[in-house]
Amino acid sequence: MELKQIENLLDKYFESETSIAEERELKAYFASQDVAPHLEQYRPMFGYFPQSGTQQFSKTVPLKPGKQKKYVAWLSVAASVVVLFGMFTFFNNSRPSAGQELGTYNDPEVAFRETQKALDMLSKNVNTGVNSMEYIHKYEETRTTIFKH
Amino acid sequence: MNQSEFIKTITPFKDRLFRLAKRLLVSTEEAEDATQEVLVRLWNNREKLKSYSSVEALAVTITKNYCLDQLKSKRATEMRIVHSNYSDRQAGLLQQAEDRDSWDWVEKIIDRLPEQQKLIVQLRDIEEYEFEEIAKIMDMNETAVRVALSRARKTIREELKKLHSYGIKAN
């Protein structure tokens, strides 16, 4: 190609008025062996562009089917409903059954006797504890007799 | 849209997305992550893709915005992108080594351009999009795209001129 033409194209190129086809011509010219010496400075530029366009994306893209997301969301909703329902039934059933087993008396006489019996048992157990404390008095007595003199 | 249809749609331009991401993020790993993220986003919205006239333009726009966001959040946390992509030289002919060296220079020069110009150079000079498409992706009018591109190309030219005459002329 004539040098004049290339120079013209270059002028247009730097004003961004060249078409893609004309830019390809320039790239082809600068890729050839005989570049005019005064245009040598443009060679790296037009050599770089095609070379830079050869890089490739080598990584694979993880393409998960998108429906899985919705499925997981619904699964968690279902799970929480089950847990809530379980807690509700558990508390509803366990409370009345515990209350029923305590038992009650209808006759006040019987109730009185039973209460006395229960209190008796309680005081007896308390007294066994007190009995074992009895001999502390003895210890106290001996201490006073020793330290008085 | 099923998996094979989706892959057929993205295959023609996924490398372009990667190169665009790399232009902005510089690091190969980060560009790969960004591309992956964009493609997964497209996949998640695959039912809506049919309503777009050009999935490619949409993908490029998403990539652009995603990378700019990434850069913004990086700057907010005062982190610098560490990269070591420049020095991948192999033994070879002297001419080849020289070429690769000067390509590195071009890459560095482009790297110093403002983001908008970087994007436009990438889209026009490397990916060869028409001005109309670039205007749509960049959300600018065509004249503004041309002006920015012309500015970017001239900057590259000036920087290369400086390098070319380095040591010959005093600054």
> DSSP string of A107-132?
-HHHHHHHHHHHHHHHHHHHHHHHHH
Beta bridge partners of B169: B166
Which candidate, B66, B8, B40, B125, places its Cα nearest to that of A62?
B40
pLDDT given for residue B90 in this prediction: 45
pLDDT given for residue A87 in this prediction: 92
Residues of chain B with Cβ-Cβ distance to A52 below 8 Å are 19, 103, 107, 126
Interval B129-152: pLDDT, tens: 999 999 999 999 999 999 999 999
Interval A80-132: pLDDT, tens: 999 999 999 888 876 655 555 567 788 888 889 999 999 999 988 888 877 77
pLDDT given for residue A41 in this prediction: 83
pLDDT given for residue B171 in this prediction: 45
Looking at the structure, give the CATH architecture of the domain made up of residues B1-85. Answer: Orthogonal Bundle (1.10)
Helix (H, G, I), strand (E, B) or coil at A134: coil
- Same CATH topology for B1-85 and B92-171? no
Q: Are A61 and B39 in contact (CB under 8 A)?
A: yes
Q: Which residue of B has its CA nearest to A21?
A: B128
pLDDT given for residue B81 in this prediction: 55
Asked if A62 reaches chain B (Cβ–Cβ under 8 Å), the answer is yes
CB contact under 8 A, B15 and A57: yes
Residues of chain B with Cβ-Cβ distance to A41 below 8 Å are 157, 160-161, 164
Which candidate, B151, B160, B148, places its Cα nearest to that of B120?
B148
Q: Would you give the DSSP letter of residue B166?
A: B
CATH fold group of domain B92-171:
Arc Repressor Mutant, subunit A (1.10.10)
Domain parsing of chain B, residue ranges: 1-85, 92-171
Asked if A70 reaches chain B (Cβ–Cβ under 8 Å), the answer is no
CB-CB: which of A20, A58, A59 is closest to B128?
A: A20
Asked if B15 reaches chain A (Cβ–Cβ under 8 Å), the answer is yes
A69 vs B24, residue with greater confidence = B24
Determine the Cα angle at A118 with ends A115 and A121, to 5°: 150
Interval B84-138: pLDDT, tens: 555 544 444 666 667 777 778 888 889 889 999 999 999 999 999 999 999 999 9
CB contact under 8 A, B99 and A17: no
Q: What is the average per-residue pLDDT within B69-84?
A: 69
pLDDT given for residue B145 in this prediction: 93
Q: Which residue of B has its CA nearest to A49?
A: B126
Residues of chain B with Cβ-Cβ distance to A70 below 8 Å are none
Interval A2-37: pLDDT, tens: 888 899 999 999 999 999 999 999 998 988 878 888
Residues of chain B with Cβ-Cβ distance to A57 below 8 Å are 14-15, 17-18, 32, 35
Query: pLDDT confidence of B77, banded at 50, 70, 90?
Result: low
Q: Would you give the DSSP letter of residue B125?
A: I
For residue A34, the Cα-to-chain-centroid distance in whole angstroms is 64
Domain parsing of chain A, residue ranges: 3-52, 69-103, 104-149
Interval B21-55: pLDDT, tens: 999 988 888 899 999 999 999 988 888 888 888 88
